[in-house]
Amino acid sequence: MKSTSSPQNTFSIVGRCPRTRLLGVGVASKYLAVGAVCSHTQAEVGAISTQAFGNPYLGIDGLDLLQQGLGAQETLERLLKQDPGRQKRQLIIIDKDGQTAAFTGTLTSAWCGHLQGDNFAVAGNMLSGEKVIQAMAASFEQSSEEELAERLLRALEAGQAAGGDRRGRQAAHLQVVHTEAWKYVDLRVDEHADPVAELRRIFELAKRELFPFRQLYPTRSNPGSDWDLDEYRRISSQVFGQ
């Protein structure tokens, strides 16, 4: 496994909805385009966030191992064994069954740590304190009736409100997968003075103008009946009033 290192001082969450089988990642950082490195998801397989001195192959290879049938903990152990830079890493994993695994290396910048709960794991490094991930965990647990993307975003908002990355704010990402290979939600803020708040703004806009069209996308089981013109017009009329 190749090693690619760059510092992401970050807070993130991986989660699963047991009702819908949605899987996802939410991440925020004082690091440009943080989601491009940290977030890794695959429908009906799992979700991974790799951060600190990030190694993107932990996400890439981790999803491969989960797809082969390994659970979250075994996947974590296999990944760390292959990574000579593991003590600089921070990694959280959730598999399709909701099992989680987490690791914070001894060379990760303080404050650093992780928490695991029912169908989620949170982690952060170079944070203002442990209260950041505690607030994220509490938010996720208290929003169980909401759809997964909303829960993940609320967790990021809670983490930011509790202090977030102690260096400041720059980027945020929200990614969720469902049953198809394409991303169910994939929204990012790559450079912004208040990225979590901007991610919320984009998410609310997407709920109105993007997500309603998902029902028209092709599926593996039904690839030939996508984008029905009458249905497209009906949705467009509802969304845009045209």
The β-bridge relationship of strands 46-53 and 7-8 is antiparallel
Q: Please give the mean pLDDT across all residues of the chain.
A: 92
Mean pLDDT of 125-143: 96
Would you place residue 137 in the very low, low, confident or very high pLDDT band (cuts 50, 70, 90)?
A: very high
> Where in the chain are all domains bearing CATH 3.60.20.10?
7-209
- Which range (100-104, 140-144, 194-198, 232-236) has the least confidence? 232-236
In degrees, to the nearest 5, what angle opens at C-alpha 123 toward C-alphas 199 and 43? 65
Would you place residue 5 in the very low, low, confident or very high pLDDT band (cuts 50, 70, 90)?
A: very low
Among the listed residues 13, 8, 35, 37, the one whose alpha carbon sits nearest the alpha carbon of residue 24: 13
Q: What is the CATH number of domain 7-209?
A: 3.60.20.10
At 240 the three-state DSSP class reads helix
Q: Is the pLDDT of residue 117 over 80?
A: yes
The pLDDT of residue 241: 79
With beta carbons less than 8 A apart as the criterion, state whether 44 and 24 touch.
Answer: no
Would you place residue 222 in the very low, low, confident or very high pLDDT band (cuts 50, 70, 90)?
A: confident
The pLDDT of residue 242: 61
How many whole angstroms separate alpha carbon 16 and alpha carbon 176? 9
Q: How confident is the model over 194-209, as pLDDT tens digits?
A: 999 999 999 999 999 9
Compute the half-sphere exposure of residue 129: CA atoms within 13 Å on the CB side of its CA.
5
How many whole angstroms separate alpha carbon 139 and alpha carbon 129? 17
